[in-house]
Structure 1
C-alpha cells in the first residue's frame, strides 16, 4: 500500500503532509472534499457517495489516494485500470462510460492504462500545490504496477470564452503553445501530462462546451 510523508509549502513555510491510500474511515472527509471542491450549481448527486467510495477501496485500493495536511483530508485522487485499446484516440468514450459513472465496476485488473476518475483538492488548500503531489504519486502507482500509461480527460473550462472563434482542437493547441492559459489543462501540463486529443461530449460541462482533453503520462520504464 502507498504511504508517503513530505512537506508542502504555504508560501515559504513548510507544512507536513501525508499521501496514502484511503479507506472506509476516510469516507466522510472525502465527501466533504467533493462538496467543497464542487459547490452548487454543481449537482450534489455527482459528488462521491459511500457506495462509489466502497468500490474504490474494494476493487482498486492502489488507485484510491488521499492527502492529509495537519491531520485533515485536504484532497483525493481516484483511478481504475482499463484496457489500452478501449481508450485510444479514435475510440471515443465519455467519462461516464469509462469510469462506470464513478462506481468503477468495470475495473480490469489486467488493464494496461490507469484511467483517472477524479482529482479534487479543498479550495482552502489549493495554494499548497497538493494537486500536483497527488498526480505525481499516482505516477508512482503506475510505475509500481508496471503498467503502460496514465490517462484521463481534463475539463477545458476556459474554452467557452473562445468557442466562437476556434475549435476545441485549436483551443488545446493554443494552450499548449502558451498563447492561452487554461486552469485545468495548464495544470496538467505542469504535472508532466501530454495531450492525446479532444473528445466531444465527454462530460456535461458548459464551460468546456462538453469537451474533454485527453492527457496522458507514459511510464518511462516501459517501451
Structure 2
C-alpha cells in the first residue's frame, strides 16, 4: 500500500497532508469531490458511482490514490494499466478506461493511463494536484512502465472555438499567449502534449476535445 506524509503550503503556512490509496470507506467523499469539481454543464452521469470505485480498489488498488488534509479527503487520482501504441494513438476516454470501470486493466500494460484527477476547489491553492501526479510518476518508475498518459480537458477552448481550431488553441497555450485551467496545470506537472484528440469526452466546455499528454519514464533505458 502507498503512503506518503508531506507538507503542503497555504501561502507561507505549512499544512500536513497524506497521500495514500483510497478504500471503500472513502467512496462517499470521492463522489462528493467529483460533484464539486465537475458541476453542470458537465454531465452528472460521468461522476463516479460506487461500482466504478469498487472496481478501482479491487482491480488496480495501486492506481487508486487520494490526498487528505486534516483527515478530510481533498482530492483523488485514479489510473489503470494499458498497452499503448504511439503509432495508433486514437481512442476515447470511454474506450480506454472502460467508461471508468477499468475492467480492461492489463497487468502487463506498458502505460499508466490517468482515468481521473480531481481536487476540491477550496483546496486547489495548496498544490495537491501536483503531489498526486508526482505519486503516479513514482508508480510508473516502480513498475518500470514506459509512460504515464492521459487526456487533458480543454475547458477554456469553448471561449475561442469560433476563431481557433483546437490545435491552434493548444499552440497558443504552449506559446504562453493563453492559459487553460487543465492543460497549463498538466504542463506545470511535467506532462508534454502528443496530439489533440477529438470526440474524447462528452464535455461541452472543451467542445469534446482533449489533449493527449504523457510523462516518459526517465529511467526506462536503465531497465532494458
- Aligned partners of 1:95 and 1:203 also within 8 Å: yes
The answer to whether residue 27 in structure 2 is matched with residue 27 in structure 1 is yes
Please give the TM-score of this superposition, normalised by the length of structure 1: 0.96
> Within 2, Cα distance between the matches of 1:110 and 1:50?
26
Residues 64, 34 of structure 1: CA spacing in aligned structure 2 closer, same or farther, 3 A cutoff? same
Deviation track 1:129-159 (CA, whole Å, cap 9, x = no partner) reads: 1111111111011111111100000111111
CA contact (8 A) 1:22 1:65 kept: yes
Whether 2:169 is the aligned partner of 1:171: answer yes
Aligned partners of 1:89 and 1:197 also within 8 Å? no
Q: What is the CA deviation profile of residues 53-87 of structure 1, one whole-angstrom value per residue up to 9, with x for unaligned ones? A: 110011111100000000001100000000022xx
Instruction: Say if 2:122 is the partner of 1:124.
Output: yes
TM-score (norm. length: structure 2): 0.96
How many residue pairs match? The answer is 221
**3-state SS of 1:102 partner:** coil
Q: List alignment gaps of at least 5 residues for structure 2.
A: none
Equivalent-residue separation in structure 2 for 1:42 and 1:163 (angstroms)? 18
User: Is the 2:41–2:204 contact (alpha carbons within 8 Å) kept by the matching residues of 1?
Assistant: no
- Gapped regions of structure 1 (runs ≥ 5): none
Flag as ranges the 4+ runs of structure 1 deviating above 6 A: none
Q: Which residue of 1 aligns with 2:42?
A: 42
Cα distance in structure 2, aligned partners of 1:133 and 1:89:
31
Q: Match of 1:79, SS? A: strand
Contact 1:196 1:213 in 2 (8 A): yes
For residues 116 and 222 of structure 1, what CA distance do their matches in structure 2 show? Answer: 19
Q: For 1:19 and 1:97, how far apart are their aligned partners in 2?
A: 28
| CA shift digits 1:78-105 (9 cap, x unpaired) | 00000022xx364311001110000000
